[in-house]
Amino acid sequence: QVQLLESGGGLVQAGDSLRLSCAASRRTFSSYAMAWFRQAPGKEREFVAAISWSGRNTDYAGSVEGRFTIARDNAKNTMYLQMNSLKAEDTAVYYCAASPQFTRQGFNYWGQGTQVTVSS
């Protein structure tokens, strides 16, 4: 089982940047594809970005492409989400997730989430 812990959330203003981190508990982290999801109040959880186990392949939701960058450091068992040009509509709880496959759904493991609030 993989345990995931997000960090880096906070309160920022529109246009600011923020970097989220997701630390994984297992050395086999490098064998998992990873992703970020988010859930805004009153809305369903939605896909944000995914990265393959090697880091060579990435996938972004249209709403964040060009503003967010997903990355991973397998030596540190950590994944990142660099968020630039933040908007009020980016406000949500952000979750990291792990899967054996590079995909947008069917993730096996989830973190507890970190709150991101963007004031306009």
Predicted pLDDT of residue 93: 98
Q: Average pLDDT of the chain?
A: 95
Q: How far apart are CA 7 and CA 96, in angstroms?
A: 10
Predicted pLDDT of residue 108: 87
Predicted pLDDT of residue 1: 80
Which of 1, 2, 6 lies closest to 111, judged by CA?
6
Residues of the chain whose pLDDT is less than 70?
27
Predicted pLDDT of residue 29: 84
